[in-house]
Structure 1
Amino acid sequence: MGEHARNHERSLVDPDGYWLRTAELIDWDVKPSRALDETKAPFYKWFPDGRLNTCANALDRHVDRGFGERTALIWDSAMVPAKRSFTYRELRDEVARVAGALRALGVDKGDRVIVYMPMVPEAVMTMLACARIGAVHSVVFGGFAPKELAARIQDARPKVVVAASCGIEPTRVVAYQPILDEALAMSDHRPDHTLMLQRDAQRAELGPGYLDWDDVVPTAAPAEPVSVAATDPLYILYTSGTTGKPKGVLRDTGGHAVALAWSMGAIYDVHAGDVFWTISDVGWVVGHSYIVYAPLLVGATTVVYEGKPVGTPDAGAFWRIVQEYGVRTIFTAPTAIRAIKKVDPKAAEVAAYDITSLAALFLAGERLDPETLQWASDALGVPVTDHWWQTETGWPIAANPRGLEPMPVKPGSATVPVPGWDVRVVDGEGRERETGREGEIVIKLPLPPGALTTLWGDDDRFVESYLSRYPGYYHTGDSGYIDDDGYLFVMGRTDDVINVAGHRLSTGAIEAALATHPAVAECAVIGIPDPLKGHVPFGLVVLKAGAAPDHDELRAELVAAVRRDVGPVAAFRDVAIVPALPKTRSGKILRRTMRGIANGRTEAVPPTIEDASVLDALKPILRDRP
């Protein structure tokens, strides 16, 4: 048995002992005497008698051990442009003041704080400040529209909202205050205060209820870390649900810290003093785990990048960051590498920079195609590895554990299940598939530390969404297979949530936006392959009787409706106007069948179809989209 196999077996046979030993990576105010509490299964708890503070583990302990002058965070904005860096001592002091400001605004242990900010250092500081005083943060991606923001405010019911006046994109400046004002008007919850970070690109006019960051934070009394139970919540992160209503994934404090600290060394082979660059946004789980918390927990340097380093003729922007800061490991989505390959197919820009510091490239968030894998491997000359996880899991389920035992790369595979994750592949009846046979990917309970513990305020929905289909297992919603070597191949989603450039989006939310148009009688949205983003949404709409709008104008209005209600992140551009949608006799739209046709598969006509001719008429449209 190799080192990975030994660790994986120990983690499943004796999870209590395995994770209690792993917990030594963290400084505890009260050391846990046991790891796993199964008394209220399936609501498992990790380190139930332990106490700690995540912010103290991420910042204070490194300062206390003499590493206060080590660089903790580098902010590089191609949008302003500007650069700033913070040592561990400087970041701790800044975070302590933000924590003191939040406390002065009435935020206490257990209170929620919504963070609606772009990729600026203050977003990271606010997240860590919440952790410092035991508050629960819920970060909302700055690209989300008022309706999506309102749903999160309504559910989390924050004491305070912390926002920025704007986000800066390559082609425009997005004012955040009008979005926030509209979202608050949609919600029946009113936060006590909104703390606004003013940016020079577009300053906000602050009305009642708003406070200027510069008037509150610099003069705040620094707050010391608050000891919390390991089982206390650290954050809520909302993810798309198939009903269109977002699900508030709840992350605990102790299990999260232990899992992320372990993953940095075992999976990414990143340690204290190394520079780690995760190209994502703090609004997504990747940003939470591997921009903010994990690198700082182990004393590494994290790069916070504002802008799009790829997708423009300047493909070299990507490699400039590696050269300038000595990046050891990059973590991004395959979309980014495909974009670079598109504008620099011969990798000339790679050769123009000194990237000898780079040791590995990790990709996740969507399926990595073999062509992109090969291009990156040849261009960079370092291991390029896919790995797989979800918002709900918080850290990788399957990976090539480079710090534990590097393994050969197989195109199309996320490599092997990580210690703690008991991955199985089953058929529709819950029977395990034999090696090489595709089925639904499930994970035997209990989930390891760091995974979601429940959904915010909705235990029943947690069980219904993830644990009810196959009792005793977490249902990932992905399909795939395991080969003879134990490698896991993840083939795609089994539900109606699509993956756009690593961002999970509900087709239900997009359909709801389309349905607001007065000419639309009904609609369906499916995910179709895209060479850059992995998948993009494709809409089919049926018009109301008598409606005869100009089709080009209608398409433009529908695209605008999705941008308004869901946001630009949906990447919604393609819509077809069709006479009817294929349905079962019970009235269910055959989305899965249409998705299969659009993805180039030969789909058998379901026996429950109401009118096969409707599907036949749609096949040319699905295969030859606009």
Structure 2
Amino acid sequence: MWSEKEDANGAITLVPTPIGKYQEDEDHRNQITAEYQELYRQSIEEPEKLWQEVGKVLDWSTPWTKVMDNTDEPFTKWFVGGELNACYNAVDRHVLAGKGKKVALIHDSPMTNTVRKVTYSELQEKSALLAGVLARYGVKMGDRVLIYMPLIPETIIAMLATVRLGAVHSVVFGGFAARELCTRIDHAAPKVIIAASCGLEPSKIVRYKSILDDAIAACVEKPKKCIIFQRRNVEVCNLSPGFDVDWDDAMCNAEPHPCVPVEANHPLYILYTSGTTGQPKGVVRTTAGHLAALTWTLKSVYNMSNDDVWWTASDMGWVVGHSYMCYGPFCAGITSVMYEGKPDRTPHPGQYFRIIQEHKVNAMFTAPTALRVIKRADPHLKVGKQFSTKSLRYLFVAGEHCDHETKLWSSKAFNVPVLNHWWQTETGYPVTAICVGLGIPPHELPKYSTGLPIPGYDVRVVREDGLECEPGELGHIVIKLPLPPGTLATLYKDTQRFLDIYFKRFPGYYDTKDVGYKDENGYLYVTDRDDDVINVAGHRLSTIALEDVIYSSKDVTDAVVIGVPESTKGDVPLCLYIMSPGCRKSEDELREELVKLVRQMIGPIAALKICICVSALPRTRSGKVARKSIADLARDKPVKISPTIEDPSVYKEIKAALQKHGFALSAPDPHI
């Protein structure tokens, strides 16, 4: 249920009514483990003391001389003077410790009907050889290497080989359009590009080499060489003599290269994320702080130990792939699963269950959208029940709001707690979570919450004037400086933009651009991006609050709510939804039910009247709904489609559906 909350200025906001055992327990604070309480206190009051200990999870070639240097905030430096190498910490040290035969990576691809297990020794051997190839073509410390590859082990080998030299990689989504790829090549100016011949989608082969050729032809910053991994079990491409290099041929003639130590604050990678201006932002992550934080969170947040198998269902082009498919698991010395396929179509909706059973997965991290897809395709688990998930202990979700119905269904389907947590590309690892590795029971996570701040993050919720909100009052989520190790250090080649975007609005704080509130016990509730809160007749209304109610209908399998202009109320909500398979109700009948449901659960102030059925919603490859572009379309503004959208054609259907329901749309059709 949702209830009204009046803030200090008299504005009324709808917020979830928290439900759970903790609310009734006056001693709840005492139930949170003493270990968490002390670590969190220490991280805020004595940060150097905490990170001094965390830094010891890594192997250093030169010890640091100072844990934290905050003389130029927000450009805080960590482990100053220390030297180390990322590939050494992810791979070599485990081999030297006698764990070379341990499986580091399990690659499961129903697309090619193959399962490949890569040991730590193989990762070491191949990353050292590829580093030798890169060095032969002039790559040295600080140079950039752009990686354009699908979800295959060679992508990770390419990342590790790059950082083995102290170079900086930039992974771009395999299959990204030539224009977007060109933008990233020109900005990063890589000395070498590493690419695959092709990638796979359920119904087609995506020819990466052709896209790459078009991108390079349009580039100003031409790479010196392109190393091409030929997917011989899928498709081989033609190479340009003298410019393109065959991966296998190069590796046969390579000399292994040793690890090159870099200073702790040396860049680890550049990861491009879409910007509000349409220009990509190159998030820069530094080496030591990020590796230390990831290694530590694998234990403290996710409760993973040496012999566990960890699965992150993500693409390498997203921060989740970097953090928790590659560097985190490998630095922690555990086994990581890489899945090349979809939740439902390659070839059936039982793939997630099959992988858990076959590889004895102990914890999984995915986006709520993947769970909704499985729920839609196999609601009664006719396929999923054929497999056992007894090895699984936790299912973690992040990346977007996880509605309560999907969470309940998934918990029953996988027979484990489904734990929502929250973080961003910029932070690189969780900001709030239930730290099960610190002994906090999973059931302590209240309904709708993303958990408590993990040690290191001083999370506040503030009003527009920067003053802190009362418990339950909706506001802007910010993080007090200094940010902990491993978060974004800057934006590549754009320091001023870095300062303007993240630190100008609320001086002394990092602006997350999200809104939400804290309850009396300190749990955070992330409700929307700060531009997704709509004002309906003076009431600030969270679109996610409405979506959560819509999802409670068994006849809806996917939905998005946005605000559209209305002459008397300012904004009114518009719901686009996808009808569940087998639903026998007419669109008019279901619309009336949804309107009634929202009125019952939230109240008439929500003013939901416009509910439109569509066959699909525009989602990014990480599963997020492209809310802003839908809202712009409905407001008759020009729409530029993000290149991360999986199926741009859905905009055409949405536009037609809006026009059918009386929206006068004259702006040009959305374009990429």
Report the TM range for the smaller structure's normalisation: 0.7 to 0.9
Q: 2:448 aligns with which of 408, 412, 421?
A: 412
Aligned twin of 1:491? 527
Q: Cα offset for 1:529? A: 6.2
Write out aligned runs for 1:379-418 (5 A). 379-407=413-441, 408-418=444-454
Distance 2:202 2:352 in 1: 15
Distance 2:450 2:230 in 1: 42
Q: Cα offset for 1:278? A: 0.4
**Alignment pair present for 1:52 and 2:84:** yes
Please tell me whether the aligned partners of residues 542 and 577 of structure 1 are also in contact (alpha carbons under 8 angstroms).
no
Aligned twin of 2:593? none
Segments of structure 1 that go 5 or more residues without pairing to the other structure are 498-525, 545-557, 580-597, 599-615, 622-626
Q: 1:167 aligns with which of 193, 199, 213?
A: 199
Aligned twin of 1:540? 633
Q: 1:94 aligns with which of 126, 130, 136?
A: 126
TM-score, L = length of structure 2: 0.77
CA deviations on 1:304-342 (whole Å, 9 max, x unpaired) are 111113356712111111111110000000011111111
**Structure 2 counterpart of 1:300, which letter?**
I
Query: SS of the residue aligned with 1:188?
Result: coil
**Structure 2 counterpart of 1:38, which letter?**
N
Q: Cα offset for 1:207? A: 1.4
Distance 2:252 2:338 in 1: 22
Distance 1:340 1:312, change over 3 A: farther
Distance 2:574 2:508 in 1: 30
Q: Cα offset for 1:480? A: 0.5
Query: SS of the residue aligned with 2:633?
Result: strand
Relative to structure 2, which stretch is displaced further, 146-155 or 199-208?
Answer: 199-208
Aligned twin of 1:206? 239
Distance 1:473 1:540 in 2: 33
**Structure 1 counterpart of 2:483, which letter?**
L
Q: Cα offset for 1:119? A: 0.4
Distance 1:438 1:196, change over 3 A: same
Write out aligned runs for 1:434-473 (5 A). 434-473=470-509
CA deviations on 1:148-181 (whole Å, 9 max, x unpaired) are 1111111100000000111111111110122112
Query: SS of the residue aligned with 1:432?
Result: coil
Query: SS of the residue aligned with 2:49?
Result: helix
Distance 1:460 1:572, change over 3 A: farther
Distance 2:402 2:182 in 1: 34
Please tell me whether the aligned partners of residues 175 and 208 of structure 2 are also in contact (alpha carbons under 8 angstroms).
no
**Structure 1 counterpart of 2:48, which letter?**
D
Please tell me whether the aligned partners of residues 202 and 345 of structure 2 are also in contact (alpha carbons under 8 angstroms).
no
Distance 1:13 1:437 in 2: 26
Relative to structure 2, which stretch is displaced further, 278-287 or 172-181?
Answer: 172-181
Q: 1:280 aligns with which of 306, 314, 326?
A: 314
Distance 1:435 1:541, change over 3 A: closer
Aligned twin of 2:560? none
Aligned twin of 2:353? 319
Distance 1:16 1:47 in 2: 9
Identity of matched residues, %: 46
Distance 1:371 1:361 in 2: 15
What number of residue pairs does the alignment pair up? 543
Relative to structure 2, which stretch is displaced further, 74-83 or 224-233?
Answer: 74-83
Please tell me whether the aligned partners of residues 327 and 357 of structure 1 are also in contact (alpha carbons under 8 angstroms).
yes
Aligned twin of 1:156? 188
Aligned twin of 1:358? 392
Please tell me whether the aligned partners of residues 249 and 456 of structure 1 are also in contact (alpha carbons under 8 angstroms).
yes
TM-score, L = length of structure 1: 0.82
Aligned twin of 1:611? none
Please tell me whether the aligned partners of residues 98 and 126 of structure 1 are also in contact (alpha carbons under 8 angstroms).
yes
Please tell me whether the aligned partners of residues 87 and 160 of structure 2 are also in contact (alpha carbons under 8 angstroms).
yes
Distance 1:431 1:222, change over 3 A: same
RMSD: 2.7
Please tell me whether the aligned partners of residues 311 and 339 of structure 1 are also in contact (alpha carbons under 8 angstroms).
no
Q: 1:39 aligns with which of 63, 68, 71?
A: 71
Distance 1:37 1:571 in 2: 46
Write out aligned runs for 1:167-566 (5 A). 167-200=199-232, 201-208=234-241, 209-311=243-345, 314-407=348-441, 408-495=444-531, 533=623, 535-536=625-626, 537-538=629-630, 540=633, 562=641, 566=643
Distance 1:527 1:541 in 2: 9
Aligned twin of 2:620? none
Aligned twin of 1:522? none
Segments of structure 2 that go 5 or more residues without pairing to the other structure are 1-29, 534-572, 579-616, 618-622, 667-672
Q: Cα offset for 1:202? A: 2.4
Distance 2:148 2:255 in 1: 24
Q: Cα offset for 1:123? A: 0.3
Q: Cα offset for 1:254? A: 0.6
Please tell me whether the aligned partners of residues 463 and 476 of structure 2 are also in contact (alpha carbons under 8 angstroms).
yes
